[in-house]
Amino acid sequence: MKGGPKIPRRALDGVLLLDKPLGLSSNDALIKAKRIYLAKKAGHTGTLDPLATGLLPLCFGEATKFSQDLLDADKTYEATMRLGIRTATGDAEGEAIDTRDVTCDEAAVSDAMAKFLGDIVQVPPMYSALKRDGKPLYEYARAGQTVEREGRPVTIHALQLIACALPLVTFRVTCSKGTYVRTLAEDIGEALGCGAHLTALRRTGVGALTLDHAVTLDELANLSEAERDERLQPVDALLSTFPEIRLNEEAARRFLHGQRLRLADVATTRLGEGRVRVYAQNDGRLLGVAKAGEGVLAPERLVVTAQ
């Protein structure tokens, strides 16, 4: 008989705020956490490069239905760039391809960074997972090929200089989805006339979630099962930026059957158009997510355990 008895997997619903370590891929971090929890179903909310550390929300069970909402959320990072050296990958992993003198001062760095606030256009790096003709760009790059990439609009909501010990510059950035921080560092370096590459990156926020309650894999492994379960945030932690609506028993029953509801019949306060989180009025259970608009509440994703 091969192997031992199969270890039963647990049905868990919730969100783990993981502080991902350096050198581990997001998928490997997910596999390790899933194994620690013995969870049946888990997924992450968007990749964090192996060379980056910090906040990686992991979804278990019903929470996986809402992971897309964090993929679309703004992100906050603390990053360090090294001026004067450009690399093939835009970060410390790649070989140096250009070296220039750093003649700017802190004031010039601040002025250059200010130019990147707001709506900008970024050209995605060759070393990225974006696909061209079904093949990731990094495969072309590793083969020594460069392909044309169109610039993509992104938004830099906040950009703050934290420390400037030239040639090293540390900054904090809050940006829209799809922003490449290493490309931002490269572009700032070009604006300064000396080039730059990213040497460190730490994600500190995803949407409304922060590192404040995050746990490392090592810490997680040393907790008891009950203590680990206590570290899970509720499923609706992913939805905290959405307005909420509460439904009476009859409306909740119809909602869970996928029926569209007239807002005039179920909403006690005025709702704008857009996505909302939906709860049962009697016991506060999360029922799912819906889209409100044109006087109608239309179910989008339902929480099975709420039935």
**Three-class DSSP labels, the chain:** CCCCCCCCCECCCEEEEEEECCCCCHHHHHHHHHHHHCECCEEECCCCCCCEEEEEEEEEHHHHHHHHHHHCCCEEEEEEEEECEEECCCECCCCEEEECCCCCCHHHHHHHHHCCCEEEEECCCCCCCCEECCEEHHHHHHCCCCCCCCCEEEEEEEEEEEEEECCEEEEEEEECCCCCHHHHHHHHHHHCCCCEEEEEEEEEEECCEEHHHCECHHHHHCCCHHHHHHCCECHHHHHCCCCEEEECHHHHHHHHCCCCEEHHHHCCCCCCCEEEEEEECCCCCEEEEEEEECCEEEEEEECHHHC
- Please report the pLDDT score of residue 1 as a whole number: 46
Could you give the percent of the chain with pLDDT greater than 70? 96
Catalytic residue among 13, 19, 28, 49: 49
Given a cut of 50, whether residue 236 has pLDDT beyond it is: yes
Predicted local distance difference test score (pLDDT) of residue 179 = 94
Q: Is the pLDDT of residue 69 over 90?
A: no
28 noted as active-site residue: no
At 136 the pLDDT is 74
Q: What is the mean pLDDT of residues 85-92?
A: 93
Which domains can be identified in the chain, with CATH numbers? 14-73+208-237 (3.30.2350.10), 97-199 (3.30.2350.10), 242-306 (2.30.130.10)
**Would you state the pLDDT for residue 85?**
98
Share of the chain above pLDDT 90, in %: 69
Residue 189 in this model has a pLDDT that exceeds 80: yes
Q: Give pLDDT, residue 5.
A: 65
